[in-house]
Structure 1
Amino acid sequence: MMDDGQKREYAILKRCEDAAVGDAVVGDAAVGDAAVGDAAVGDAAVGDAASEDVHTLLNNEITNVARKIVGDKNFLIPKHCLVENNKLFYNYHFQTSIIIFLENYIKGENNIRKNVIQYLEERYRNVVESLVLSPNGILNIQVKSEYIIGGFANFYHSFVKSGKSRHYRGDEEEEDKKTQLQKPFSKKPTVLLDYCGVNYAKHMHLGHLKSLFLGYAFSNIFRFCNFSVKSRNHVGNWNMNMAIIITFLILLSNHQKGCNLPMKWDRENEKVDEDKVNDKQTDTPTSIYFNDYESSTRHVSCDIKKESSIYFPVDEYLHMLSNLTVEGFYEKYKKLHYKHFVNLSLHTIDYMYKISKKLYSLSTSFQKFSKLILSLMYKNDAKVMALWDILRGSSKRENEEILRIFRIRRLVEKGERFYIKYVQKILQKMRDVNVLLHFRGKLCILLKKRETTSTQNGQYGDSSDDDSGSNPYRRGNSALSSKEKHYDIVDARDKMYQRASKGDIDFLKDNFSILTLKRGIAYTYAAIDIAAIYYRVYFEKANKIIYVVDENQKKHFMQVFSIAQFLSIFPEGTECLCVNYGFVLNEKNRKIKTKDISNNIFVKDIIKSYEQVHKNEKSKKGCNNFKNFYKPKYYQKVMLSSIIYSYVSVKNCKRQAIMDIIKDPNIEYMHIVNRYNEIFSTLRNLKKSDYFSLLNKRGKEMNIDHNSKKILLNILQFKHIVEKITYDYNVEKLCSYLFDLSQKVSNLPYKSIIKQFHLYLEEKKILNLLEIIEHSKGNKNIRKVAKNEFEGEKMLEKKKKNANCISTMENYDMFLTVIENVGNINKDDMKKNLSNEELEKVKFFVLNIILDVAIMQSYLFIVSKVFKMLNLHLVKFD
């Protein structure tokens, strides 16, 4: 009979054995902060080990063994328990604290250490060389060299030297011939990305760039992973923001001369005193400073907030409005001709928007006429729509120029006006389920916020969830999913709804979130967004819709997703996600706003400042590492890429100060470019050489040093790092990965040898050398294996025909020099007959040089692909 302790140990071991068979793996591994994707199933995972990332394999099994020991198929492993690079033991590659965690989680269990180690050793005996447990409970993992070389050979063949026809799957199946690439990924569903989302009639400012750069990086990464990608720019081109500008043009402009702005208005300089428009006074212009590497300060003015002698007071406009009657409005409307405004610049339009916004808040007459104009917009009035089209065209031209400069492609514009026609369909769905509330001339919907409860491992889920407090769709704080339950929708059968319909505003505020869908004639932002989801799911056939917006819109999308889910808009398997990023802060460390009249730093002005520096800047002296970046022909590319890298290389949740982003070239970006150029110049003609056959057939013969193993393991992470972004949306991890790899490749042992003797390391010459070495070794053994002297002589003669003697080999002197200096074999001894042991030493030496060449080739490949994904300039110096 077994005692209780023995029974418990037996049960744990039995669960581990079941997992090893592969028939007891259940559920998905946790996603996001606690996840590594689907758990590995059975021994099939080991069969594909060489094609998988080591982190993925080990983390899957750590997840599995923890679930088996705990006895919970949905158990979530904290992120800090997953494998990480070993910080303590030089010869061990990874470490994990899973044993410490389990011992604290299951009190009184004495065999956890033994069970975890036994499980991992049995599951991955072909991958793991050694497992060593530190006294403090940290498990140290050493990976087999054969596995590392096998995985690297597969990576090298699949990515670096694949000869297959390759292409990106572009928007609407569009192919880009310049970036054709067939990746070793299976075909995936359609992803629709919504990013940028600028408002018409206003300049694009630096706050918009976060969404633009993150969204574009996502689109490239999803394409690389073989998803079909559709990129959409959901611009704000409708409703009251446009109506107030059209109203301003009709009521307050000179129809004979166009816009009634002051005579001295200089469209060329485009300088507007926005502080005075806001009834503020300033004597200090805001400027942007760039600090160069010499620690001197160069003042580059790219600001539109300088003082101007032109000041047109809002009071004068208000006086004009006070004397305007309805008849006067119609008279102005009849005399209006849109051709007078065709040359309006966006700067002028932006100026008028700020004045109109002020007038709308101060004048009931202006409000009344603006609402009338809005009604004409909804009726597609010819004159009004002609003015709208002028505003749209001017905004689009400037935005497209910015997109061109930043090399943003395949971003299709579909604005609010496009989705308006689908709102009625959404409202009808709401009527069918009795959730619409008519309240004070508005159409509303009532929502009740769901309570969240703290769950295992400190995560948060809905209190109504049944899965032991764990939400499998949680992706951390930066992403929301439509599969999460944020709000309940209140329908007409609810008693509280009946009381709310009586118009008790205090009761409404105390008990509900009120979401307005229609105000007068105009549909709201929320209604249009729900209509856009409907269109994207049913007409664009999107399986996943991802919004890239700042943290301020988090609540909005929680409500929109909840309503869309309630209305059953999502087919099975379809998901909407909202990736939130931290606010971009202005020079005063305050949120950059777009909906008021606050001053912003515009993208167009930053670009102009770089162009000016590009024309005037001369090569600097005093900083050898980075002086190339300041040369005129590189400077603009460097600065534009530095801005992109600075935006995407920080965590999504982090708020960024704009002055920290634009003041200097990014050091990490410059370091990576420098390392790329260094490796590029080292390889020279070897960049195109293909060493796959050597790696594949002779990899087991390579004696890899520990630093090279670490680099190879880093390279093998590439596919996993990229794929992981498609479900955790943390682009900054790709930046960290590339920067870390760039630091490690500088320590390759044979880099200087490769640079010196690159002409002699082409694959054909190396294959010839190895064949000769094998021939020389074979000559010494032929007589031993031959049955008689005659047969031995015949075998020797055949060998001589297939290969030349090592002493007559082409470039023999070069190899003697290299081997003498690095291989520790005397040149004079090389000219004599070497022993098999000495020949084997030469072979190992040559193979390890070639391994370093293949590592460098892989590094160049990874840098070029990551730079394409992140849209960075890969500057190649002369």
Structure 2
Amino acid sequence: MEKLLDRITAAVSEAFVNCGYEAEYGKVTISNRPDLCEYQCNGAMAGAKKYHCAPIQIANKVAESLKEQELFSEVNAVNPGFLNLKLAPAYVQEYLQGMADDERLGCEKTANPKTIVIDYGGPNVAKPLHVGHLRSAIIGESVKRLGRFVGHKVTGDIHLGDWGLQMGLIITELKERKPDLVYFDESYTSEYPTEAPFTISELEEIYPAASARSKEDEAYKEQAMHATYLVQHGHRGYQAILQHILNVSVTDLKRNYANLNVEFDLWKGESDAQPYIPDMVEKLKKEGFAYESEGALVVDVKEDTDTKEVPPCMILKSDGASLYTTTDLATLVERRKLFDPDEVIYVVDKRQEMHFIQVFRCAKKTGLVKPETDLEFLGFGTMNGKDGKPFKTREGGVMRLEYLISDINEKMYQKIAENPEISEEEARETARKIGLSAIKYGDLSNQASKDYVFDIDRFTSFEGNTGPYILYTIVRIKSILNKYQAQGGDLAKGRIPVAENDSQKTLELTLARFNGALENAFDELAPHKVCAYIYELANAFNKFYHETKILGEENEEKRADLVAVLQLTKRVLETCIDVLGFEAPERM
């Protein structure tokens, strides 16, 4: 279905043309004064200079033309030249019935679907997920779902940190603790064990212990660096340990990400890019892009229009070792080979912006990606505590993600358990769903690039702009629909009615903006716009609910039609929260 705003703009643009003005002046926006009108057009103001007349003259002429349109119930020209518009309730009713009859609620899939890779998550193996991993996972998952909903082919890649010194540190520490393991026997030629020589708990203890020691013991650090070199150059035993680290870590990561309702299509890491590095480096040298600077291999990426210093992109360090820039460029080579994407979106901390400026420019300049491939940097701000500093535990440490989720779920459980009608099992599951909505909505309702305060008390509230409030609204609708059916009502019987009062029309107009809201949110990579939309919709519904007799309506046909509005509202809200990555329970 064509977006309602586009239909209105088309009608107003046609009126401008009929009155002798250019169509471009007919652009319509949602009114910023809902007390005066529902939509507005300011084109007469912009056209006054060109047509050498007062804006109100243009507005009056166009308003007179629009009064013949069945689309509008009211058209007013207001000084100094605004057009104030109100839609005919019957037209809105017809539009909403089209939404209700459509499986996709009137949201057409894009006519030009893209192949898109989203790089998000980015945890290091052998380390537990902590709150610093939250934003990338939540924002990336939502952008992925938004992209798929509007019709693009989207692949999500976690891009694991599984290469570098951390691997050498783990191997070195493991060798000291368990020197008799076959992985350290250079004469061993048989198959290595399939079971890892450590658990996830042991692994998570080994790495920080090794990291701490390497900062005080230079000889130990040298051993770790040599072990890193060996694993990166194919040492058979160390490669087997690396595979164990990956298997154990990924199993645990999948469990933790599942608790966030986050799924990745690819579990690739930096190590997967390694085979592409030699040929890539050779290409950059051969084609004259890469040159030596202080022993390192670099590519210039500065541009004449730069207002700040953009350093060269370093491809290899002076000792020949690769860096994050190397593996990110090689990963783009791999993605081009495997997916030939039209767009690659990176959901990472905004403090990494310069790194990605260098990577993107280098990839474009050297032809590692096609000229038409879009490389997007979606940088997010910091998740802070109430003190305005990065979120920490009460003891001042970095909080593990599973502990944060557990704390919020317990907080929600304590609230839900007050209802004696709900079993403990249902209460726990309901608490999990509400807790997830609190975390995800609390994050996504903020513009991604901005820092925000993670306020557990506010995010878990059932009032205000929160996930639990949105879920409470959906559950309220479910409860009414269940009662309606229990009274013998047929959910398939009703049709969307013509609005009879202001609260009903406001609700219907808000519902009609659904397809535009989701398309716009993806175009701008802005999940917070979905949150803003459903908060407005939830408020509109609750006002309608408090002012309208629904199940108490005596006229059976009218009651069925009101129920049809509830069903459409529920479908729209549930579609939106699915895009945001959470779901509603049956009751709260």
TM-score range, shorter chain: 0.7 to 0.9
- Aligned 8 A contact 2:298 2:315 in 1: yes
Helix, strand or coil for the counterpart of 1:755?
coil
Among 542, 560, 566, the residue aligned to 2:359: 560
Query: For the structure 1 residues 76 and 240, does the alpha-carbon distance in structure 2 shift closer, same or farther, using more than 3 Å as the test?
Result: farther
In structure 2, relative to structure 1, the CA distance for the partners of 1:113 and 1:729 (3 Å cut) is farther
**Partner Cα separation in structure 2 for residue 346 and residue 441 of structure 1:** 40
State the partner residue of 1:636. 432
Cα drift, residue 740 of structure 1: 1.1
**CA distance in 2 between partners of 1:420 and 1:76 (Å):** 55
Aligned mates of 1:348, 1:82 — CA distance in 2: 61
* Rounded Cα–Cα distance in structure 1 between residues aligned with 2:108 and 2:225: 53
Q: SS where residue 580 of structure 1 aligns?
A: strand
Does the Cα contact within 8 Å between 1:651 and 1:732 map onto a contact in 2?
yes
* Residue 353 in structure 1 maps to residue 207 in structure 2: yes
List aligned pairs for 1:319-338, cutoff 5 A.
none
Tell me, yes or no, if the aligned pair for 1:234 and 1:414 is still in contact at 8 Å: yes
User: What displacement does 1:235 show?
Assistant: 0.7
Give me the whole-angstrom Cα distance separating, in 1, the residues matched to 2:104 and 2:563.
12
Aligned with residue 203 of structure 1, among 124, 128, 131: 128
Spell out, residue by residue over 1:138-162, the C-alpha distance to the aligned partner (whole angstroms, 9 max, x if none).
Answer: 4321123343222112111113789
Residue type at the aligned position of 1:429? K
Aligned to 2:468: 670
TM-aligned CA deviation for residue 184 of structure 1:
5.7
Tell me the residue number matched to 1:243.
168
Aligned CA distance change for structure 1 residues 343 and 637 (closer, same or farther; 3 Å): farther
Pairing of 1:387-402 with structure 2 (within 5 A): 387-402=241-256
> What code does the residue aligned with 1:111 have?
A
Deviation (angstroms), 1:870: 1.4
Q: 1:193 aligns with which of 118, 141, 146?
A: 118
Give 1:738 deviation, angstroms: 1.0
**CA 1:345–1:656: 2 relative to 1, 3 Å:** farther
Unaligned runs of 5+ in 1: 1-50, 163-181, 259-329, 454-486, 488-510, 758-817, 820-845
- Structure 2: distance between partners of 1:616 and 1:129: 50
CA separation of 1:703/1:195 partners in 2, compared to 1, >3 Å: closer, same or farther? Answer: closer
Distance 1:444 1:334, change over 3 A: farther
Counterparts of 2:162 and 2:490, CA distance in 1:
49
Quick one: distance in 2 between partners of 1:599 and 1:661? Answer: 20
2:161 partner SS: coil
Q: Which residue of 2 aligns with 1:170?
A: none
Q: TM-score, normalised by structure 2?
A: 0.83
Matched with 2:273 is 419
Measured in 1, the distance between the counterparts of 2:205 and 2:25 equals 54
C-alpha displacement of 1:93: 1.1
Structure 1 residues 461-508: Cα deviation after superposition (integer angstroms, max 9, x where no partner): xxxxxxxxxxxxxxxxxxxxxxxxxx9xxxxxxxxxxxxxxxxxxxxx
Counterpart amino acid of 1:83?
T
Residues 141 and 614 (structure 1 numbering): CA distance in 2 closer, same or farther, change over 3 Å? closer
Q: Closer, same or farther in 2 for the Cα pair 1:402/1:142, shift >3 Å?
A: same
In the TM superposition, residue 352 of structure 1 has moved relative to its aligned partner by: 3.2
8 Å contact from structure 2 (residues 302, 310) kept in 1: yes
1:539 alignment partner, SS class: helix
Cα separation, partners in 2 of 1:533 and 1:161, compared to 1, 3 Å:
closer
Offset at residue 334 of structure 1 (A): 7.8
Q: 159, 167, 179: which one pairs with 2:103?
A: 159
Which residue among 205, 219, 222 is the counterpart of 1:368?
222
Q: Give the C-alpha shift of residue 84 in structure 1.
A: 2.7
Instruction: Check the 8 A contact 1:629/1:635 in 2, yes or no.
Output: no
Q: Is the Cα–Cα contact under 8 Å of residues 750 and 849 in structure 1 kept in the other structure?
A: no
Distance 1:661 1:76 in 2: 47
Q: Does 1:537 pair with 2:336?
A: yes
1:664 to 1:373, Cα distance in 2 relative to 1, 3 A: same
- Per-residue CA deviations over 1:220-257 (Å, capped at 9, x if unaligned) read 2222222222111111111222222222323x324359
Q: 1:584 touches 1:656 (CA, 8 Å); kept in 2?
A: yes
Q: Helix, strand or coil for the counterpart of 1:413?
A: coil
SS of the aligned residue for 1:412 comes to: coil
Matched, 1:647 2:443: yes
Call closer, same or farther: CA 1:60–1:573 in 2, change over 3 Å: farther
- For the 8 Å contact 2:510–2:540, the answer to whether it is kept is no
For the residues of structure 2 that align with 1:249 and 1:336, how far apart are their CA atoms? 20
Larger Rg: 1
Relative to structure 1, the CA distance from residue 89 to residue 867 in structure 2 (aligned partners, 3 Å threshold; closer, same or farther) is closer
Contact 2:412–2:435 (8 Å) recurs in 1: no
For residues 788-825 of structure 1, the C-alpha deviation after alignment (integer angstroms, 9 at most, x for no partner) is: xxxxxxxxxxxxxxxxxxxxxxxxxxxxxx35xxxxxx
Alignment equivalent of 1:863, drawn from 550, 556, 573: 573
In structure 2, the CA distance between the partners of 1:95 and 1:687, relative to structure 1 (3 Å rule), is farther
Contact 2:130 2:401 in 1 (8 A): yes
In the aligned structure 1, how far is the partner of 2:508 from the partner of 2:219?
A: 71
Secondary structure of 2:75's aligned partner: strand
1:430 maps to 2:284 = yes
Structure 2 match to 1:222: 147
Equivalent residue in structure 2 for 1:83, among 23, 29, 33? 29
Distance 1:449 1:121 in 2: 53
Q: CA deviation at 1:853?
A: 2.4
Matches within 5 A, 1:791-870: 818=554, 849-870=559-580
Kindly tell me the number of residue pairs found equivalent between the two proteins.
571
Measured after TM superposition, the shift of residue 734 of structure 1 is 0.9
1-structure distance, mates of 2:40, 2:426: 42
- Identify if the C-alpha distance between structure 1 residues 568 and 331 changes in structure 2 by more than 3 Å, giving closer, same or farther: closer
Amino acid at match of 1:225: V
Structure 1 residue 722 displacement after superposition: 0.9
Give, as a single letter, the amino acid of the residue that structure 1 aligns with 2:54: N
Do structure 1's residue 111 and structure 2's residue 54 form an aligned pair? Answer: yes
Counterpart contact for 1:62–1:98, Cα < 8 Å: no
Do 1:238 and 1:417's aligned partners in 2 also have CA atoms closer than 8 Å?
A: yes
Aligned to 2:518: 722
For structure 2, list consecutive stretches of 5 or more residues without a partner in the other structure.
none
Give the drift of 1:704.
3.9
**Please, what TM-score do these two structures have when normalized by structure 1?**
0.58
Give the letter for the 1:689 counterpart: A
Letter paired with 2:565:
I
Which region of structure 1 is more displaced relative to structure 2, 153-162 or 549-558? 153-162
Structure 1 residues 847 and 574: alpha-carbon distance in aligned structure 2, compared to 1, 3 A threshold: farther
Q: CA deviation at 1:874?
A: 0.6
Instruction: Pick the aligned partner of 1:745 from 541, 545, 570.
Output: 541
Matching residue's letter, 2:313? L
Contact 2:139 2:448 in 1 (8 A): no
| Shift, 1:413, TM fit | 0.6
Q: Identity, % of aligned pairs?
A: 16
- State the AA in 2 paired with 1:864: E
In the alignment, which residue of structure 2 is the partner of 1:315? none
CA positional deviation for 1:613? 6.2
Contact 2:437 2:583 in 1 (8 A): yes
Partner Cα distance (1:339, 1:629) in 2: 40
Distance 1:543 1:223 in 2: 14
Which residue of 2 is the match for residue 379 of structure 1? 233
* Residue 714 to residue 87, structure 1, CA distance change in 2 (3 Å): same
**AA in 2 matched with 1:536:** R
Structure 1 position 513 matched with structure 2 position 311: yes
Matches within 5 A, 1:478-489: none
Amino acid at match of 1:863: L
- Contact 2:503-2:543 within 8 A present in 1 as well: yes
Contact 2:122–2:160, Cα closer than 8 Å, also in 1: yes
Q: C-alpha distance in 2, partners of 1:666/1:525?
A: 43
Equivalence for 1:873: 583
Q: 1:119 to 1:208 in 2, by over 3 A?
A: farther
SS in 2 for 1:87: coil
Query: In structure 2, the residue corresponding to 1:191 is in which secondary structure?
Result: strand
Q: Give the secondary-structure state (helix, strand or coil) at the position aligned to 1:578.
A: strand
Partner SS, residue 528 of structure 1: helix
1:335 Cα offset (Å): 10
2:85 is paired with a residue whose SS is: strand
Q: Secondary structure at the match of 2:84?
A: strand
1:59 CA drift (Å): 5.9
Contact residue 160 and residue 858 of structure 1 kept, 8 A = no
